[in-house]
Amino acid sequence: MTQTWSRARIWALIGYAVAAAAMFAAPLYLSDFRLNLLAKFLAFAIVALGLDLIWGYTGILSLGHGVFFGLGGYAMAMHLKLQASGGRMPDFMDWSGLTALPAFWKPFESLGFAFLAGLLIPGVLALILGYVTFRNRIRGVYFTILTQALVIIATTLLIGQQAYTGGTNGITGYSKIAGQSISSPDTKQMLYWVTAIFLVVAFVLCRFLVKSRFGKVLRAIRDGENRVRFIGYNPALYQMTAFAISGVLAGLAGMLFVLHVGIISPSMLGIVPSIEMVLWVAIGGRGTLIGAVLGAVLMNGAKSEISAQYPDAWTFIMGALFIVVVVFLPGGVTGLVERLKFRKRSVSEHEQEAVRHPAV
Amino acid sequence: MSKKPSVILQCEDISVSFDGYKAIQGMNLTLERGELRFLIGPNGAGKTTMLDVICGKTRSTSGSVIYNSSDGPVDVTKKKEHQIAGLGIGRKFQAPSIFPTLTVFENLEIAMRQRRSVFATLFARLTAEDRERVEQQLVMIGLQDKAPWRAGGLSHGEKQWLEIGIMLMQEPSVLLLDEPVAGMTDKETDKTGELLKEIAKLRTIVVVEHDMEFVRNFASKVTVMHEGKLLKEGAMDEIQSDDRVAEVYLGKRRNADASRSTA
């Protein structure tokens, strides 16, 4: 028994090693165009990890991660825009009639500040939202609706405050990052590796979290929040922590996304992208980290392939996939693999029941 | 060593109303340290609500619950659920509430008496001592062979034992058990009875129970509740020979049994 388990573990380690090698070697076998796409998908995988932590493991569905992603994205975009403007005011401010750079923009001239802001602002916002909701035991569907409201507030503010945020167009037109041209193939390759490294770091961090006793308490909260209370834990603190970490990861992903895509605008953090992020996790398999990563990469890969050939088909395919997953594969793709493994070991009905009905 | 008061829990004049419906009206309950107490009464007598008040699940409208913790007396009606649990009052619910996607071992591991902060659990290591404590508990509840199972795959009886185990891992001073043998087979009921006798040697236990046969197995004090009030308190013989009890409780037993079989 222990021998077969350790063999499974060895195979898993080999799998991870091969996947990591393939990821880091991608510049050798992918064209610049495809490498750039993959870099974007890897950034998405980081959001998916964060979402999985709060949804897959803790049972709290957030349809507002676009906001955290967007805040990270805007922080980086502000820095890049200032770099491109060469000490002058960004062009869109001029058009909106501003005469001087707003004070809150100034610190973003420093890459270090922008990077920290891109992590901390989403993290603190998540912490505050978590504090007011979880402490008052707002959960389930009500929490999910609140996160949607957050998205609407954020996009409305970003569009409305055009002079400070670039409005509907967002912030674009970058030239340099850390003194290098942002569009040169060399820089792009370097940024790809940076993203890959951050994905590995995020994955290792999440793995540490979910394997720790903290992670077991998170899963216990998903299974029965009240019971957790009666064994002496305060679930609100755990939910807040998980939600804040999840927000930080989304912010990190947003920063990397901007580096690869060269633009951030309100439409990239709206309702639809926020829901799409959840779909990656659902289809890949919530409650397993590798499922979240695969879901993000494969779904986005499929999206760009299919949209290229049949521009209108993707939305329908995504909707259909979602229905198939909800009805037939509640554990997503990784859940399917698990189920096949369990079938071999003939596990009781109850177990499958637990997979089928994780708390929303 | 300081002298511990012999009374561990004193509920005074507890009243609870739900939207005007008075579930409990001026109930008093005093528990001695190390006592095993049964709380019986017809459906709707307020037994479960009484346990809910003690563990903080339900807020009482008036009255106090003084708990003589190791740090002195505390009125737990002013505390939050997780604080009450931390003070040493454990609760087992009627429907087995365990963590189905955690393994049996993990269920006990997180319940273990330990620091409950986020930071502490992030860096907690399972020491050899911890492992031993969990394993001893597994033996006590008879689930040592099922440690790596997901708890959701256990039978009903096993889930009940696991929940008792979860509660014991917290090393509470007072245990509140709501119908621990409901829905169990005769064999499982007997095993649970043995388990309770074992636990009662060390701790104060309050058991809400419908099964009179089960209560008769224990020579201990019984409190009868009726319509949110204390009706009678004493040994089982006294209770059974009491006319008022016979009237309100035994007369309605048929109903109680019927509801239990559907539960």
User: Any chain B CB within 8 A of the CB of A286?
Assistant: no
From the list A223, A230, A353, which residue is nearest B85 (CB)? A230
User: Any chain B CB within 8 A of the CB of A222?
Assistant: yes
Chain B residue nearest residue A348, CA to CA = B153
Chain A residue nearest residue B124, CA to CA = A213
Say if residues A72 and A122 touch (Cβ distance below 8 Å).
yes
Contact between A237 and B117 using a beta-carbon 8 Å cutoff: yes
Least Cα distance to A200 among A18, A42, A56 occurs for A42
B211-222 pLDDT, tens digit per residue, is 778 888 887 889
3-state SS, residue A303: helix
Chain B residue nearest residue A351, CA to CA = B153
Chain A residue nearest residue B101, CA to CA = A354
β-pairing, B204-208 with B221-226?
unpaired
Compute the mean pLDDT over every residue in chain A, rounded to the nearest whole number: 90
Contact between A354 and B117 using a beta-carbon 8 Å cutoff: no
Give the distance from residue A130's alpha carbon to the nearest chain B alpha carbon, in angstroms.
15
Chain A residue nearest residue B112, CA to CA = A231
- Name every residue whose Cβ is closer than 8 Å to that of residue A171 and which is 6 or more positions away in sequence: A74, A77, A78, A80, A81, A90, A92, A165, A263, A264, A265
B82, B93, B134, B154: which to substitute to probe chain A, counting the most A Cβ within 10 Å?
B82
pLDDT at B252: 52
Contact between A220 and B109 using a beta-carbon 8 Å cutoff: no
B32-41 pLDDT, tens digit per residue, is 998 999 999 8
A160-211 pLDDT, tens digit per residue, is 999 999 999 999 999 888 888 988 999 999 999 999 999 999 999 999 999 9
Say if residues B93 and B163 touch (Cβ distance below 8 Å).
yes
From the list A219, A235, A348, which residue is nearest B99 (CB)? A219
Tell whether the model's pLDDT for residue A351 goes beyond 80.
no
From the list B97, B109, B118, which residue is nearest A227 (CB)? B97
User: Any chain B CB within 8 A of the CB of A220?
Assistant: yes
- Residue A112 burial by CB count (10 A; 0-12/13-18/19+): exposed, middle or buried? exposed
User: Considering chain A, what percentage of its residues have pLDDT values greater than 70?
Assistant: 93
Give the distance from residue B117's alpha carbon to the nearest chain A alpha carbon, in angstroms.
8
Residue ranges and CATH numbers for the domains of chain B are 7-262 (3.40.50.300)
